[in-house]
């Protein structure tokens, strides 16, 4: 009995030991469960990653450094920015080249203008002009004769506009000026004086003389196909011209105004040429020159003093 009971206990112990070896430990069971869950989740995530557009499965295996949608979008955005910056850079280079070419063409275009108007040598000698023209203005019923005496060497210019109904005169001489209206002397305001002085400075004949002597205070710039602009040394625009293929001025303007005066074909006075007539593009005013005299100095018979 004792031996049989011992054998039975031994068998129970051996059986319990075998069962213990077969059963995973608590820690091992937890790890196995976690690993299974991770494998299950990983499998689901991998399957989700393998699904491409429209739910189709992407059979391409993953690899380290494989491009994701975010990286592809970022790469494409960077490429677009690089292309855009390159295009902007090329545009800036092209524009700077065009501006340089136009500035370089400015003197040649000014030379063409001078050649068409009698030449550099002829205009370099002209320092005074007397012009007589017939004017028509929509605000004045009858035509009137307009006379100008213009000294290029200093702010000295005199105007007379007359017909049977009116007698208007004005002049500036240095820093002073005066006005005459139908037999009565009038004061010249600072604004009126500056208007007359600005007209004198930007007068076409004076500009032609300054270009002819290569005045360092002036620079010429070509703009577009037919335009020539003249600038002062301070960067302010003095004149602009639209030239035909012969270099003759077809349209002329001063300062910031873009209205301008349309010019007719050139006429001659000695060696120089000048526009035979002019008109505002809006049709409000026109003139035709009947006489133009050019000289190297102001005649002693010309007076800029008031009557």
Q: Where are the domains of the chain?
A: 106-295
Segment 13-22 mean pLDDT: 59
- Residues sharing a CB contact under 8 Å with residue 240, sequence separation 6 or more, in sequence order: 223, 227, 228, 229, 230, 252, 253, 254, 260
Q: Evaluate whether 146 touches 136 at the Cβ level (below 8 Å).
A: no
Strands of the chain, DSSP E: 128-137, 144-151, 156-162, 167-173, 176-181, 184-186, 218-223, 227-232, 237-243, 249-254, 261-263, 266-269, 272-275, 277-279, 285-295
- Whether residue 72 has pLDDT greater than 70: no
More confident position, 127 or 89: 127
DSSP character at residue 56:
-
The pLDDT value recorded for residue 12 is 65
Segment 87-115 mean pLDDT: 75
Angle between helices 190-202 and 204-212 (to 10 degrees): 50
pLDDT digits (tens, 9 = 90+) for 245-280: 999 999 999 999 999 999 999 999 999 999 999 999
How far apart, in whole angstroms, are the C-alpha atoms of residue 179 and residue 158? 10
More confident position, 142 or 92: 142
More confident position, 19 or 236: 236
The pLDDT value recorded for residue 86 is 80
The residue whose two tokens read 């037919």 is: 226
Q: pTM above 0.85?
A: no
- Whether residue 146 has pLDDT greater than 60: yes
- Whether residue 53 has pLDDT greater than 50: no
Coil/strand/helix, residue 231: strand
The pLDDT value recorded for residue 81 is 81
Comparing CA positions, the residue from 125, 139, 134 lying closest to residue 162 is: 134
- Whether residue 26 has pLDDT greater than 60: no
pLDDT digits (tens, 9 = 90+) for 225-251: 999 999 999 999 999 999 999 999 999
**What is the percent of the chain where pLDDT is above 70?**
72
Segment 12-24 mean pLDDT: 59
- Whether residue 216 has pLDDT greater than 90: yes
Is the domain spanning 106-295 CATH 2.50.20.10? The answer is yes
Token pair recorded at residue 303: 């007076």
The pLDDT value recorded for residue 32 is 42
């Amino acid at each position: 009995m004792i031996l049989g009971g011992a054998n039975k206990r031994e068998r129970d112990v051996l059986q319990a030991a075998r069962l213990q070896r077969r059963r995973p430990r608590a820690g091992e069971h937890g790890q196995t469960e976690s690993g299974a869950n991770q494998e299950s989740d990983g499998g689901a995530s991998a399957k989700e990653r393998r699904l491409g557009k429209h739910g189709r499965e992407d059979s391409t295996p993953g690899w380290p450094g494989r491009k994701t949608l975010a990286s592809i979008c970022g790469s494409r955005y960077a490429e677009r920015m690089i292309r855009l910056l390159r295009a902007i850079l090329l545009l800036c280079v092209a524009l700077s080249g065009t501006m340089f070419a136009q500035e370089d063409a400015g003197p040649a275009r000014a030379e063409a203008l001078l050649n068409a108007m009698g030449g550099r040598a002829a205009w370099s000698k002209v320092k005074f002009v007397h012009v007589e023209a017939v004017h028509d203005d929509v605000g004045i019923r009858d035509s009137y004769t307009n006379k100008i005496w213009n000294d290029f060497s200093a702010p000295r210019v005199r105007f007379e506009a007359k017909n049977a109904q009116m007698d208007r005169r004005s002049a500036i001489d240095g820093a002073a000026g005066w006005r005459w209206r139908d037999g009565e002397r009038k004061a010249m305001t600072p604004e009126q004086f500056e208007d007359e002085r600005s007209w004198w400075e930007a007068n076409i004949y004076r500009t032609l003389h300054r270009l002819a002597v290569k005045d360092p205070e002036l620079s010429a710039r070509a703009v577009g196909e037919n335009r020539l602009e003249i600038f002062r040394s301070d960067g302010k625009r003095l004149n602009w011209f639209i030239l035909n293929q012969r270099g003759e001025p077809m349209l002329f303007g001063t300062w910031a105004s873009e209205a301008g005066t349309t010019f007719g074909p050139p006429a001659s006075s000695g060696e120089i040429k000048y526009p035979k007539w002019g008109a505002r593009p809006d049709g409000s005013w026109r003139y035709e020159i009947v006489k133009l005299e050019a000289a190297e100095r102001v005649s002693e018979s010309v007076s800029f003093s008031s009557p």
